[in-house]
Structure 1
Amino acid sequence: MNPAPPGAAGERVGRAAMRKTMWRILPFLLFAYLVCYLDRVNISFASLEMNTDVGISDSAYGIGAGVFFVAYFIFEVPSNIALTTFGPRLWIARIMITWGIIAGCMSLVRGPLSFYVLRFLMGVAEAGFFPAMILYLTQWFPREKRAQATATFFMAVPLAGLIGSPLSTWLMTVLHGVAGLRGWQAMFVIEAVPSVLGGIACLFWLVDKPAQATFLTEPERAWLVAELESETGEVSATYRHQHSILRTLLRPAVLYMALIYLGLEFGEYALGFFLPQMVQSFSDQFGTHLSLMQIGLISAIPSAVGVCCMIFWGRRSDRAQERTWHIVIPTLIGAAAIAASPFFSIFFIGMVLVSVTAAAIYSSIPVFWQLPSRYLVGTAAAVGVAVINSVGNLSGIIAPSLTGVLKDATGTYSAGYILIGVFLLFAAGGTLALHRETHRAPSGEPATSVSRASRSEV
């Protein structure tokens, strides 16, 4: 491979390489995560009818929503190790196809037991998908573009709410009775199809690494490979022990990041799995009857606010090359907003506060995912990212289960709102603790050897 041209010519080549890479990779990753997340949380809309149809209580629903993450936790690290063996293109395609098939089988739920089993199998199928995507982004986007790229990819989460909320409730309404299916059953089948087709398309569209990218010219490939290798070398020189998987698991920075993500994801999943029910409870509280479509449209509002905020916040973090306060500030705002929401008796104010919290969570998570690449490369990066995501996704077990149990016990979601605020405070405190930890020297090195880039980004 010929070296990239130097000087101004090199800058032009770099800009062209980034532009082509963004247009080639990000739309597909955005689509893939959109259909993934929609298949993961569309049970929140199905539950408006499914729970009554098959006899699932709020507590049983919360447990079933969380069972997905038990499987996710168990199989995440093995899945990401398999990714390094088979390559991103093949492994991501496998994940999408298998989870799509099982997502369609959710239409076969007949009671709590079948609900639990199918949710567990979905977790097995999808395990490793998100960390695979995060790792893939680090292999294609240099540091100064990574938060923006991650925010664009993660935009799939609020878009799943923005698009999926009205789409899911519309499908449940118009397809009710078609082929003898209930509306929620038809919705599961229809929304599973894009996942399977996307997995097949993945085999032909994604490229495993920049050196194989035929959509780039030779100088563009050389520039991108050189940029990424330079960053990898910098991390390897600063954290020489990072190739040890065991030491990766035990490093304080990895443990801090796992706990921070646990706090952030608690809020995301509590809202993701219960927002339609929360909207319905708001309407019941204030004596307003809402149809399925109206619940879907209102549930999309927090996602719309999140889409607007997260891209701006990711770009701002990239421009400032600062991560800590770009995580701490929104999480503190989100914690205050959601904890205050039960104390207002006006529907509009309640939805504004929930929307602020959603925007805060969606803005924080893409910035958070810039932290692991500061300390981990190679197999250790695959394992580290998987561990962080696995521990964080334990909130997928805790959040819906606790929210459902608290709702059954108290009759309202107020305690659940306050609990979200507590976990966001936990994430903010963990981020500050991580910042302090990363200003200490890596094991066996003087403090002055910590790279300048590590300090500026963290």
Structure 2
Amino acid sequence: MNTATLAGSLTGAPHEMAARADDALFRKITWRLIPLLFACYVLNYLDRTNVGYAQLQMKDQLGFSDAIFGLGAGIFFVGYALFEIPSNLMLARIGVRATLLRIMALWGLTSAAMMFVSTPTQFYVLRFLIGVFEAGFAPGVLFYLTLWYPSRRRAQVTALFFMAYGAAPIVAGPIAGLTMTYLDGALSLRGWQWLFLLEGLPSVLLGIAAFFWLSNSPADAPWLSGAEKLRVLRTLEEDQAAQGPAGRQTIGSALRDARVWLLGFMSFLIILGSYALAFWQPTMMKAMGLSVLQIGFYSIVPAVVGIASSILVGRHSDRTRERRWHFAVAAVVGALGLSLTTLFMHNPPAAVACLALAAAGIGSAFIILWAVPGSFLSKNAAATGIALISTVGGSAGMVAPMMVGVIKTATGGFGLSLYILSGALVLSALLMLLALPRSALPQAQRGF
């Protein structure tokens, strides 16, 4: 070995050891935080979307039309949007532990109370209140992750958290199918009533668990050593410094940042497809001739494919430090899956395969999108910026169910809706590539 090679190996060894130590430290943090946050998000998904399965029974039993169901499903997001930013600002002040306890206890109790619905007005009011109480959960967790992870590590950890959004249908379908089939009539309650009760109360218990298990920040974590706390804080400071002027952003500058509003609109376009499927996919499968129990288990396939894709795409995006093309390709794949579904509405296996392709694209695009804002928002601006993006994007949840319901009533099918949703995904891809140029992102995020 010559002198230059020896010097290079000696210089590189400490760097490699430090990198391995950092990897081990952030794995430790991930194993502490993500499993519980993952479980919370699964329940969050179940309690906001279980109405999509419940309506397979309750719509006929209560005499609700498609329009009533669509409005009730969508009005959730009115309350959600109104209280999203205030909730996230409160989290920044009181910490994630108290915030999650408040959010999960209130949404869980209100979701369980859905079992007593008998009129459209009661349906609307409770759905609105669930939105109010859930407001701030997902953007709050995303802000919370910025307190623990530097930007270069966030895509994968964001993917792990949002993997719950893909994993939830794996349990949602079978739970709904089994509950509504085998508990229908037990204790004089209908199956849809049992579904709301059994999926609502666990959220209260998990909120209590989160209060005692989580730490508000690395500095407050008793499960980290002093050296580990110092290393995490130093890594975050270095990450902020590397962002240059963006690291000194204020809340006001985040609200004036065009990138924040643009990401919010792209999130809106992605979530249109996501929530349209969340609320109407069971009805779509019922129209294919499937039973409630079959629908529950068929729903597993798109969910599993969506999870696997999100993990792989998120990992590759982190490794290459490229976001724009990862997002654009995923969004186009999602659009292709939705469009192809229209060709196989009378062929359940083929339709489910197309829905799986759509889930892969939509899920992957969604997690890549959320890796972007933390790369240019400072700690001071992150809570507001992330909440704003989530509020603008989340408003799609109000539009999508009602839009699909109205179009289905007018046309008698789902074809036109799926084409519109596909167009929204293609538009989001074009906006990422054309309206959000490489110069608008930090160097490590620019890509081609």
Q: After TM superposition, what 4+ stretches of structure 1 lie above 4 angstroms from structure 2? A: 6-9
Q: Counterparts in 2 of 1:399-418, with a 5 A limit?
A: 399-418=400-419
Deviation string 1:85-136 (CA, Å, 9 cap, x unpaired) is: 1111111221111100101011111121111100000000000101001111
Counterpart Cα distance in 2 of 1:439 and 1:452: 8
Counterpart Cα distance in 1 of 2:206 and 2:241: 34
Q: Are 2:303 and 1:303 aligned?
A: yes
The residue number in structure 2 matching 1:108 is 116
Deviation string 1:64-100 (CA, Å, 9 cap, x unpaired) is: 1110001111110111111111111111221111100
Pick one of 51, 54, 65 that aligns with 1:57.
65
**Percent sequence identity over matched residues?**
38
Aligned length: 434
Q: Are 2:234 and 1:226 aligned?
A: yes
Do 2:66 and 2:405's aligned partners in 1 also have CA atoms closer than 8 Å? Answer: yes
Do 1:10 and 1:223's aligned partners in 2 also have CA atoms closer than 8 Å? Answer: no
Q: Which runs of 5+ in 2 are unaligned?
A: 1-13
Cα offset, 1:8, TM superposition: 5.0
Deviation string 1:260-314 (CA, Å, 9 cap, x unpaired) is: 100110010000011110111122xxxxxx3211111112211111112111111
Cα offset, 1:242, TM superposition: 2.0
Cα offset, 1:215, TM superposition: 1.4
Considering only aligned residues, what root-mean-square deviation do their CA atoms show, in Å? 1.6
Q: Are 2:446 and 1:452 aligned?
A: no
Counterpart Cα distance in 2 of 1:9 and 1:364: 33
Cα offset, 1:252, TM superposition: 1.1
Counterpart Cα distance in 2 of 1:291 and 1:346: 15
Q: Counterparts in 2 of 1:55-134, with a 5 A limit?
A: 55-134=63-142
Cα offset, 1:451, TM superposition: 4.8
TM-score of the pair, normalised by structure 2: 0.93
Q: Are 2:384 and 1:378 aligned?
A: no
Counterpart Cα distance in 2 of 1:90 and 1:27: 18
Q: Which runs of 5+ in 1 are unaligned?
A: 1-5, 284-289, 441-449
The residue number in structure 2 matching 1:259 is 265
Cα offset, 1:378, TM superposition: 2.7
Counterpart Cα distance in 2 of 1:244 and 1:133: 18
* 3-state secondary structure, aligned to 2:446: helix
Do 1:13 and 1:223's aligned partners in 2 also have CA atoms closer than 8 Å? Answer: no
Cα offset, 1:240, TM superposition: 6.2
Do 1:238 and 1:451's aligned partners in 2 also have CA atoms closer than 8 Å? Answer: no
The amino acid that maps onto 2:311 is I
Q: Tell me: CA distance 1:244–1:304, structure 2 relative to 1, closer, same or farther (3 Å).
A: closer
Q: Are 2:267 and 1:280 aligned?
A: no
Cα offset, 1:180, TM superposition: 1.4
The amino acid that maps onto 2:65 is S
Do 2:108 and 2:200's aligned partners in 1 also have CA atoms closer than 8 Å? Answer: yes
Counterpart Cα distance in 1 of 2:364 and 2:434: 20
The residue number in structure 2 matching 1:431 is 432
Counterpart Cα distance in 1 of 2:320 and 2:436: 16
Counterpart Cα distance in 2 of 1:65 and 1:224: 41
Counterpart Cα distance in 1 of 2:127 and 2:189: 20
Q: Tell me: CA distance 1:432–1:8, structure 2 relative to 1, closer, same or farther (3 Å).
A: closer
Pick one of 186, 190, 212 that aligns with 1:182.
190
Q: Tell me: CA distance 1:62–1:198, structure 2 relative to 1, closer, same or farther (3 Å).
A: same
Q: Tell me: CA distance 1:454–1:359, structure 2 relative to 1, closer, same or farther (3 Å).
A: closer
Deviation string 1:383-425 (CA, Å, 9 cap, x unpaired) is: 1111100010111011000001111111111111111101111
Q: Are 2:296 and 1:271 aligned?
A: no
Q: Tell me: CA distance 1:256–1:412, structure 2 relative to 1, closer, same or farther (3 Å).
A: same
The amino acid that maps onto 1:268 is S
Counterpart Cα distance in 1 of 2:431 and 2:339: 19
Cα offset, 1:179, TM superposition: 2.0
Cα offset, 1:34, TM superposition: 0.5
The residue number in structure 2 matching 1:358 is 359
Counterpart Cα distance in 2 of 1:34 and 1:8: 37
Q: Are 2:398 and 1:397 aligned?
A: yes
Counterpart Cα distance in 1 of 2:210 and 2:57: 34
